[in-house]
């Protein structure tokens, strides 16, 4: 238990309190450009199409080139095979049995130039065109295996098919030598026919794409317009609603993808409807409550004007001042409640503060009032800091209402105590205000936080807004409110009341000297 520290009313009545520093956080809203959902979807659909179109042309070209090479390579392979079959070795010399007509047929091509070449085992040209370069193979491939490559003849790219011929198998007479002897046969042709076929294939694919792509764009545009039509219809339905119509939006004709958005809007409309109802009720209650002091002030002022006796005039002015004081307090509490309800973490963020120091300063402001009412007002705090996240102004307002409530219900000669303590294991801070008044019946615990509600038979002046303000501020700080009987009271007719506000701790509490 922390040590109790009683405040001497006469000594501390004139003690100045520390001014609270307020912090403003002026942030300028970030400007955002509006973006079209239709344009966003259209961009994400058309940009990939426009990027894939040249990619498809490149892939088509490679596929067309492969398709064009296959038949022409087979024809070229047939030609080099026919020439290779005519190569023989006679008396150690490589000869061919190609006739002039066969050579003419080999060169017969209306589009491409065809070249052929036969080399013996030592690489000398036996027959054919000498411009055909030698293969660049590091090791010769197996004999009678047709190989293909690209090369250049007279700065013109050609396709070359070549075969190595095993001369041992072509000898007309057996030879004693077993040394490998390979003759090279090559047939080359230019690439004009292949290019023509590739161009024809590409034209056959690209031309339809030029026709299909605009049609696809039109269809995409139409599909997006059609698909986004429910949004336009929903927009029109919302625009046609009356300003005071806060009923839920009918989701029967809403697409499945928009249902979460409509559900969120309906939840917001429900909260807005409840807020407006509360505000209307609050305004009605406030207007009703203000009628009494205003009517009394008017009546007393009119009565004072009609009086000629100074004593009666003075008595009317006293009543007028009393009614003015009551109206002023009610207006201040209404403003405090409105400020508490409109405060959000964005407009006024919660900052770390020391709860004991804040409570001690508040209690010092009520010392003179407790002295005038002959009530012993005490304050208890531990010997370490209690840090919480909160708004200093709002927490002061909360504590002021609790202390005012305690002093109003505590009879003369009674006690009222403000206590601050913490539970490090549970990470909780406790702000308690206890009194020795009549207490609060259990069935009244929920109703006392309603606006303008006052317990019948209490005979205490007030507006019924203090505890409503306490509840609103506590909710904004994530705090809980408990109403208990005062454990220090022994009189069953005056069990007292203990109001406990439970706040989460901000950080561990280091030791310090808690003397006032």
* 451, 464 Cβ separation under 8 angstroms: yes
The CA-atom distances, in angstroms, between 38 and each of 52, 223, 225, 227, 506 are: 21, 11, 8, 10, 47
The CA-atom distances, in angstroms, between 367 and each of 397, 404, 418, 437, 438 are: 16, 11, 12, 18, 22
pLDDT for res 130: 87
Six-digit token pair at 264?
Answer: 């969120």
* 414, 386 Cβ separation under 8 angstroms: no
DSSP for 42-72?
HHHHHHHHHHHHHHHHHHHHHHHHHHHHHHH
Distance CA 498, CA 495 (A): 10
pLDDT for res 500: 93
* 496, 435 Cβ separation under 8 angstroms: yes
Distance CA 473, CA 399 (A): 10
What is the number of other CB atoms lying within 10 angstroms of the CB of residue 162? 24
Distance CA 495, CA 93 (A): 134
DSSP-derived letter for residue 22 is P
- Rounding to the nearest 10 degrees, give the CA dihedral for residues 96, 101, 104, 108: -120
pLDDT for res 420: 94
pTM (whole model) above 0.75: no
pLDDT for res 355: 93
Distance CA 453, CA 433 (A): 20
Nearest to 398 by CA among 452, 474, 464, 342: 474
Which H/E stretch holds residue 334? helix 310-342
pLDDT for res 512: 47
Exposed (0-12), middle (13-18) or buried (19+): which is 434, by Cβ within 10 Å? buried
pLDDT for res 515: 45
> Is the C-alpha dihedral spanning 79, 81, 86, 89 positive or negative?
positive
Task: List the beta strands (DSSP E) in 368-427.
Answer: 376-380, 387-390, 415-423
> Is the C-alpha dihedral spanning 459, 463, 464, 469 positive or negative?
negative
Residue 503: partners with Cβ closer than 8 Å, 6 or more residues away: 355, 388, 390, 428, 429, 430, 431, 477, 478, 479
The CA-atom distances, in angstroms, between 330 and each of 202, 285, 290, 319, 334 are: 87, 12, 8, 17, 6
Distance CA 207, CA 227 (A): 30
Backbone φ and ψ of 423, nearest 5° = -120, 100
Cα 340 to chain centroid distance, Å, stands at 28
Per-residue pLDDT 10s for the chain (516 aa) are: 444 444 443 334 344 444 333 343 434 445 555 667 777 777 777 778 778 878 887 888 888 878 878 888 898 998 889 888 888 888 778 887 777 777 777 777 788 889 989 998 888 888 888 889 999 887 888 888 999 999 999 899 999 999 999 887 655 555 545 556 788 999 999 998 888 888 888 888 778 877 887 888 888 888 888 877 888 888 888 888 888 888 888 877 777 878 888 888 888 888 888 878 777 776 776 666 666 677 777 877 887 788 878 888 888 787 777 777 767 777 776 776 666 666 666 556 788 999 999 999 989 999 998 999 999 999 999 988 999 998 888 898 899 889 988 898 888 889 999 999 999 888 999 999 999 888 888 878 777 777 666 655 455 555 567 788 888 888 888 899 998 888 888 777 788 899 999 999 986 545 445 444
Distance CA 52, CA 67 (A): 22
DSSP for 73-140?
HHHHHHHHHHHHHTEEEETTEEEE---HHHHHHHH--SSS-EEEEEE-TTS-EEEE-TTSPPP--SSP
């Amino acid at each position: 238990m922390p040590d109790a520290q009683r405040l001497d009313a006469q000594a501390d009545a004139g003690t100045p309190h520390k001014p609270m520093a307020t912090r403003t956080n002026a942030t300028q809203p970030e400007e955002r450009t509006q973006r079209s959902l239709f344009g966003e979807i259209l961009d994400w659909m058309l940009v990939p199409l426009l990027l894939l179109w040249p990619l498809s042309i490149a892939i088509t070209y490679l596929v067309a080139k492969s398709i064009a090479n296959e038949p022409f390579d087979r024809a070229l392979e047939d030609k080099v095979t026919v020439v290779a079959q005519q190569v023989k070795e006679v008396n150690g010399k490589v000869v061919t049995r190609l006739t002039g007509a066969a050579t003419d047929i080999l060169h017969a091509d209306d589009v491409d130039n065809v070249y052929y070449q036969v080399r013996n085992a030592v690489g000398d040209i036996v027959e054919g065109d000498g411009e055909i370069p030698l293969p660049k193979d590091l090791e010769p491939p197996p004999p009678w295996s047709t190989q293909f490559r690209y090369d250049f003849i007279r700065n013109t790219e050609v396709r070359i098919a070549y075969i190595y011929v095993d001369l041992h198998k072509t000898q007309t007479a057996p030879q004693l030598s077993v040394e490998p002897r390979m003759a090279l046969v090559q047939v080359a042709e230019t690439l004009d026919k292949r290019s023509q076929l590739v161009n024809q294939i590409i034209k056959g694919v690209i031309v339809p794409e030029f026709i299909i792509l605009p049609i696809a764009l039109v269809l995409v545009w139409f599909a997006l317009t059609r698909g986004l039509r429910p949004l336009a219809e929903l927009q029109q339905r919302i625009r046609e609603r009356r300003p005071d119509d806060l009923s839920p939006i009918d989701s029967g004709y809403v697409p499945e993808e928009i249902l979460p958005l409509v559900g969120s809007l309906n939840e917001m409309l429900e909260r807005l409807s409840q807020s407006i109802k509360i505000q209307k009720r609050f305004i009605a209650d406030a207007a009703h409550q203000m009628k009494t002091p205003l009517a009394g002030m008017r009546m007393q002022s009119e009565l004072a004007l009609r009086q000629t006796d100074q004593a009666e005039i003075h008595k009317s002015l006293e009543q007028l001042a009393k009614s003015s004081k009551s109206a002023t307090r009610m207006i201040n509490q209404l403003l405090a409640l409105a400020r508490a309800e409109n405060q959000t973490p964005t407009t006024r963020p919660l900052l770390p503060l020391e709860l004991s120091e804040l409570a001690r300063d508040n209690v010092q402001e009520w010392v003179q009032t407790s002295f005038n009412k002959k009530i012993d007002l005490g304050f208890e705090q531990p010997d370490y800091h209690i840090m919480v996240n909160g708004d200093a102004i709002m927490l002061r307002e909360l504590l002021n209402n609790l202390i005012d409530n305690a002093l109003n219900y505590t009879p003369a000669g009674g006690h009222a105590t403000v206590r601050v303590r913490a539970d490090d294991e549970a990470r909780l801070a406790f702000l308690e205000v206890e009194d020795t008044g009549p207490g609060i019946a259990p069935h009244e615990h929920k109703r006392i936080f309603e606006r303008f509600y006052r317990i019948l038979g209490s005979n205490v002046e007030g507006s019924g807004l203090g505890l409503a303000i306490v509840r609103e501020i506590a909710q904004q700080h994530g705090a809980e409110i408990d109403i208990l009987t005062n454990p220090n009271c022994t009189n069953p007719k005056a069990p007292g009341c203990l109001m406990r506000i439970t706040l989460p701790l901000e950080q561990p509490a280091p030791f310090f000297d808690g003397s006032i």
